[in-house]
Amino acid sequence: QVQLQESGGGSVQSGGSLKLSCAASGDTRCMAWFRQAPGKEREGVARIYGGGVTTYTVDSVQGRFNISQDITTNTLYLQMDSLKPEDTAIYYCAARYGLCGAWSLITFDYWGQGTQVTVSS
C-alpha cells in the first residue's frame, strides 16, 4: 500500500520561494503535484516519471516551478520560485504505479493529505 506525506508548505510574500517535499512509501513510478484553491477544481501542476526520465509542467508555472524525484529515498519535490498570489492553494502529492501521460488519460490512485501554500501580495 502506497502512503504519501507532504511537507514544506507555508506563507510567503509574492516573489518568494518554497520547496515542497513528499515522502512516499511503496512502489511509485509516476508521481505528480496537484493543487486546489477554494472554490476551484483540483488541477495538475507537474508530473514526473522514473526520477526524471520524463517530466511535464503546466504552462501557468513553467519557468517558476520545478519537479524532481529522488528514487533512492522515494521522495518527490516541488521547487517553487517567483510565487504569485494565484499560486495560493492546498498542494497535494499523488502517485500511480505505471507510466505517466496526459492528465486526461491517466488516474492517480494514491494521494497525500495536502500542504497549504499561501502567497501574499
Quote the pLDDT of residue 21: 98
Say how far apart CA 33 and CA 31 lie, in whole Å.
7
- What is the Cα–Cα distance from 119 to 5, expressed in whole angstroms? 22
**Residue 53: CB atoms within 10 Å:** 10
Grid cell, residue 103, equals 492528465
pLDDT one-digit tens code per residue, 9-52: 999 999 999 999 999 998 888 999 999 999 999 999 999 998 89
Residue 22 is predicted with a pLDDT of 97
Position 8 scores a pLDDT of 97
Predicted confidence (pLDDT) per residue in 95-117, tens digit: 998 889 888 888 999 999 999 99
Residue 97: what pLDDT? 86
Query: Which DSSP category does 97 fall into?
Result: S
Tell me the average pLDDT across 85-104: 92
Does residue 34 contact residue 44 with C-beta atoms inside 8 Å? yes
- pLDDT of res. 102: 86
The pLDDT, as a whole number, for residue 39 is 93
Predicted local distance difference test score (pLDDT) of residue 27:
84
Output 1 or 109, whichever has higher pLDDT. Answer: 109
pLDDT of amino acid 28: 87
Count Cβ atoms within 10 A of the Cβ of residue 38 and give its class: 0-12 exposed, 13-18 middle, 19 or more buried.
exposed
Using DSSP, state whether 75 is helix, strand or coil: strand
